[in-house]
């Protein structure tokens, strides 16, 4: 159940990012948003985690800003591997990663508080 909530939260976060930013688009309907959220989650979970682990000193020095840079890079990689996601430039990816992080955090915390 937790995986489904996280997937839906990711899809809603991508919808919010595409609604607020001109530099990122998801081509298609709800299934496309779910697909992009799943692919981004996999890429960020595997490759992003590896990059963050290998660059741990940079994370500690930058006080978390580096995490958004890595997430933006993983978002660009997701766009490269999926025909359904288009990201214009790194700046758009950086702002989108910020929006996606905020929205998913809010939804996940709201669901956890209802569950408790």
Q: Identify the residue whose tokens are 């992003």.
A: 48
- Residue pLDDT tens, the chain, 116 long: 688 989 999 999 999 999 999 999 999 999 999 999 999 999 999 998 888 777 766 655 565 677 888 899 999 999 999 999 999 999 999 999 999 999 999 998 988 866 55
Domain range summary for the chain, segments of one domain joined by +: 2-109
Q: What is the pTM for the complete model shown?
A: 0.88
Buried-state track 81-104, b at ≥16 Cβ within 10 A, e below 16? ebebbebeeeebbbbbbebbeebb
What torsion do the CA atoms of 35, 42, 25, 51 make, to the nearest 10 degrees?
-170
Q: Are 35 and 82 in contact (CB under 8 A)?
A: yes
CA distances from 94 to 69, 74, 90 (A): 6, 10, 6
């Amino acid at each position: 159940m937790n995986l489904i909530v996280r997937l839906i939260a990711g899809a809603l976060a991508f919808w919010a990012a595409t609604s607020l930013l001109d530099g990122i688009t998801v081509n298609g309907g709800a299934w496309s948003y779910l697909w992009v959220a799943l692919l981004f989650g996999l890429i960020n979970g595997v490759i992003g985690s590896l990059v963050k682990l290998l660059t741990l000193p940079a994370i500690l020095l930058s006080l978390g800003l580096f995490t958004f840079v890595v997430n933006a890079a993983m978002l660009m990689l997701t766009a490269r591997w999926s025909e359904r996601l288009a990201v214009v430039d790194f700046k758009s990816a950086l702002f989108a990663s910020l929006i996606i992080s905020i929205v998913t955090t809010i939804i996940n915390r709201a669901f956890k508080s209802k569950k408790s």
